[in-house]
Structure 1
Amino acid sequence: MEASNFTHYYAPTFILTGIPGLEDAHIWISIPFAAFYVTALLANFTVLSIVAKEQSLHKPMYLLISMLALSDIVTSTSFIPKALGIFWFNLKSITLGGCLTQLFFFQAGSTVHSGVLMIMAIDRYIAICNPLRYTSILSNVRIVKLGLVGLIRAVLFILPVPLLLSRQPFCSNYIIAHTYCDNMTVAKLSCGNITGSRMYGLVLAFVVMGFDLTVIAMSYALILRALLRISSKKAHQKALSTCTAHILVILMAYPPGLFSTLAHRFGQGITPYVLIILSNLTYLMPPMLNPIVYGVKTKELREKVVIFIYTTCLTGTTDYKTT
């Protein structure tokens, strides 16, 4: 009996409720969720496929777009399939190990995403302010190394989150009122001291976002200063057009993400299902929209996408040649 209680105490099975208060509407909510997720997968895998096959796209900017696509796939896949399982098949149970694994990949994917956006800002700064030295400063090899540094950073920063939670005792309440395992949502179920998890999660959000946003802000400040020194309006438009896609992706990522993080910690007066829907859309919409934004705003990638879709839909093959 004592051994059984010991196991139950430290290795509970949690119940993800989905969206409390909207249980009757789960099937209807699942329709846009599924549509957004499938669109995100198709769009991002299309970008990855095109960049991999097309030699002319083996450039730093497109490598960064591919990294962004990979991080979007990991982030959305870490929680949407489980959410759809809850909506469609009432598969609400999840083990502590499964919960912590989901939490790790979700937050690691988000951290990599933020790091890639930061590197993209540096890429835009060098392309506009030091165009003659661009290829020597940012080679493909250097971009890959920066991507690996971003991945290692994500693992090192995020790994303590599930490790801290795995040491927490869970006594009786195993109900998670959410569609996925979130750091603070799981921590609040513990009957132990969660000060460490609470503080680390909050500091992590501000350190990662704060550092990445500072670098992004500095890059665009330097870009703006360089543009103010140029009198040609055509040069202004050309420079700004190269930054439009990146700025749109930043606006879709950081403001909603920061608001969702703060609302979950301090938004006691907000209806719970509003917070849950908001947090799901915050990390589902960017993976769907990012490849579309870059596909529309980047001429070279847009042309390849059109050719890819034409050959795939009309000829039934993904083998295509471009000139």
Structure 2
Amino acid sequence: MNTLPTASLSADNVAPIMSVRGVNKTYAGGFQALKNINLDIRRGEIFALLGPNGAGKTTLISIICGIVNASSGAIIADGHDIVRDYRKARATIGLVPQELHTDAFESVWATVTFSRGLFGKPPNPAYLEKVLRDLSLWDKRKQKIMALSGGMKRRVLIAKALAHEPAILFLDEPSAGVDVELRRDMWRMVRELRAQGTTIILTTHYIEEAEEMADRIGVISKGELILVEGKQALMRKLGKKQLTLTLRQPMTGIPANLNAWSLELADNGQALVYSFDTQKEETGIAELMRALAEQDIEFKDLRSRESSLEDIFVSLVHRPKETAA
């Protein structure tokens, strides 16, 4: 894996906390899991990496965290090359893995304390107590991990990842197999960590997770990063609005002089549907209303709907490659 000079990372004279350049991963047998990934993560943001199962999310995280070697490319984490300065780079990163694997015969307190020491951090019982209390684990600190429920074990993984006070926290599919209470606690903690300056990278295929928390979103599909955009900008740029008019009298067809609005009939002719880009001005609605009145087409109800992040994600992932960027 090539190294990347930190001097080349600056953008507007401010270096991102993490920079990924030209990362590829090909496994034995020729399967290419990642294809020329280029990505900058801003300091203090919550970045959500979205993609279906098998898209390459976990492979990318595993490379950044030193678990898997890239076939080519370079990564800088908080100013440290992850190959040349592995120990320093890894010390800046906390990882909550997707799979549940913990020291089954250790107590919660022992495993979290060990994780902190593993990175050369001096003892800080007060900090570890706060982490365990925030995760509702303080009352379980003396219990062996093997005696905990699955949800509690996942809380322990989060505590272990936070034990050495990392500047960058990876959450790999954090909602996989967790209950609603843990998901809510985890989202609260993520916001608090971000407020304290921690950078959060979240990988998920649960769209509501990204919609709830992320500042920016990246979409990965079949090993390629097809889009990186601010959440609100993404929804403005790629979202659509839909106006549905419930008619007083059903229609069998749309009059020719309404063709300019690309209307669709729905509910067996009981409704007219008008779809338009969120970036376009909505003056077309007023014009449509006037045109309907001129045609003596009356409606008894109307409702509007805006694209969700899930709608946009699905359209991006299933869009033909040549138009996905």
Q: Name the TM tier (shorter chain).
A: under 0.3
Structure with the largest fraction of helix = 1
TM-score, normalised relative to structure 2: 0.22
Structure showing the higher strand proportion among its residues: 2
